[in-house]
Structure formats: structure tokens, C-alpha cells
Amino acid sequence: MIDAHAHLDDPRFADDLDAVIARASAAGVERVLSCGGDQASSERTVTMTRRNSAVLAAVGVHPHHAGSWTDATVLMLELLARDVRVVAIGEIGLDLSGRSAPLPAQEAAFSAQLELARRIGLPVVVHVRNAGERARALVDRLTGVRGMVHCFSEGPAEVDEWLRRGFTLSFAGTVTYPKSEALREAARLVPADRLLLETDAPYLAPQGRRGQRNEPAFVMDTLAAVAALRREDPATLGQQLARNAKSLFGIRWS
């Protein structure tokens, strides 16, 4: 099993990261993809992977931080992305929830990072909130962009729109929340070979652990819930998800 999206550079992991990773391994989580959100967190994440073989990195500028984007930022990201432990550009995207940078800044940063990912041959890890149509319009401007939509939250009507563009859909602990029936329906619709699961740790702990700091081991709770709603064996589904991650993120996932 893999945790397809986490933020292990978060200060909440500063005191016990080794123990967190050990608990994940004991639970059956073989790899964790830890994602940057700006230059500093991307640099910290790459450094972390050099000390923890179970952790791989994505580097990028999140829409919350898109106001910091400059022409120099893309050069920094490209340099980081050349590290052998970096398997994706992310977390990037668009967020119209009102908590992020102004939309023009978001779109400029997202477009530049999509182009970077295509140019250097890496997939993208995309954050989309209340912005599916706009995000897909930017993706459609380029050919050859591939990746995953992390913490999928758009509901069943949006599933096929992303699948038709070749994207993988990743579900977080939110799929286990009592009021998330539309999200569960979306998780039922995704073909097994286009599905991933994640924690988004330290955020979005699954239902039985809400109120706790989320951590990669807890992705097994989400696996159990999603396997049940899809009427699949959890171990078999977990193996499929590991294959999906290796297919998407390439040989460096090994």
C-alpha cells in the first residue's frame, strides 16, 4: 500500500517523523509521497527524502502561495526536480474557496508548473477546489500533461472529465465522513487502475480518527473503507494502488 499524498515537512511532524514513518511501515504502507507547497517546503521535503528511503517527494507551489511566484521560481523547482527522489511536480492547482492567492496569480503559477512538468517528463499532483472547469481548461492548453487530482472532492459528475484527460484520482480520509456520500459514489466510479488513496497528513484524518493529527499509517483506514464500498478485498486493492503509483510516478518510485 502507498500514501499518495502527505505533507511530512509540516511542523507537527518535527519531533517524531521517524516514528511516524515506522508506524506507517508497520501498518503496511511501503511508500509515502510528501508534497511541497512553496519553495521552502519543497526544499525541506527533498532533504527529508535523503534521510528516509520510504519517502519520495513532489515539489511545487500551492495555489495558496501562488502570490509568491516569480520567473525565478520555476528555475528553483526545475533544479529540485532533478533530484532522483523527486517523482512529481506538486502540489499545484487552482483554489476558488477564497483562501488562496488572486486567481490571475494562481493561473500563472499553475500554467508555468504544468509546462515545467511536461518539459522535464514528470507527472503533476493537482489541487482543485471549486475550480474543476478552469483547471481543466489550463490542462487542455498543453499536450502530454499527466498526473493525479489529489484529495478528489468534486463529486461523481467530474470523474469522467478527469479520466478522459488521462488523470488518476486520489481520495483522502474525507471519503469516510458520514456526509460524503457523493464522494463515495465518485470513488465507486473510478476504475481500479486509475485510483489512488492518500492521507493529506497532517490534515483530514479518516472518520475513526478525526480530531487527531493525521499520519500515513491511517491511509489503511481509508483503504478498508474504500474497499468495502467497492466490494473489493483490501489487500488486493492495496496491491493495485501500489502498481498504480509505480505506473504514474515511474521507475523512481521503486
Cα–Cα distance, 49 to 227 (Å, whole number): 30
Q: pTM for this one?
A: 0.96
The pLDDT of residue 9 is above 80: yes
The pLDDT of residue 98 is above 90: no
Residue type, 47: T
Question: pLDDT at position 99, please?
Answer: 83
Average pLDDT over residues 162-175: 97
Give the CA-trace dihedral at 219, 224, 225, 227, to 10 degrees. 120
135 near 128, Cβ under 8 Å?
Answer: yes
Q: How many domains does the chain have?
A: 1
Average pLDDT, the chain: 96
Question: pLDDT at position 254, please?
Answer: 57
Closest by Cα among 123, 174, 176 to 145: 123
Using left for φ > 0, alpha for ψ between -120 and 50, and beta otherwise, residue 169 falls in: beta
> What is the domain-level CATH number for residue 92?
3.20.20.140
Cβ neighbours of residue 65 closer than 8 Å, sequence gap 6 or more: 37, 38, 101
The pLDDT of residue 41 is above 90: yes
Residue 242 to residues 162, 169, 194, 246, 254: CA-CA distances in angstroms? 20, 14, 11, 6, 10
Domain region containing 102: 2-253
* pLDDT-derived band at 223, boundaries 50, 70, 90: very high
The pLDDT of residue 250 is above 90: no
* Residue-wise pLDDT tens digits, 57-89: 999 999 999 999 998 999 999 999 999 999 999
Cα–Cα distance, 131 to 101 (Å, whole number): 14
57 near 85, Cβ under 8 Å?
Answer: yes
Please give the angle made by the CA atoms of 153, 1 and 144, to the nearest 5 degrees: 55
* pLDDT-derived band at 155, boundaries 50, 70, 90: confident
Average pLDDT over residues 102-108: 95
The pLDDT of residue 158 is above 70: yes
The pLDDT of residue 252 is above 70: no
Cα–Cα distance, 27 to 187 (Å, whole number): 23
C-alpha cell at 122: 514528470
Give the CA-trace dihedral at 91, 61, 81, 123, to 10 degrees. 40
Question: pLDDT at position 251, please?
Answer: 57
Cβ neighbours of residue 215 closer than 8 Å, sequence gap 6 or more: 6, 13, 20, 23, 24, 199, 201, 202
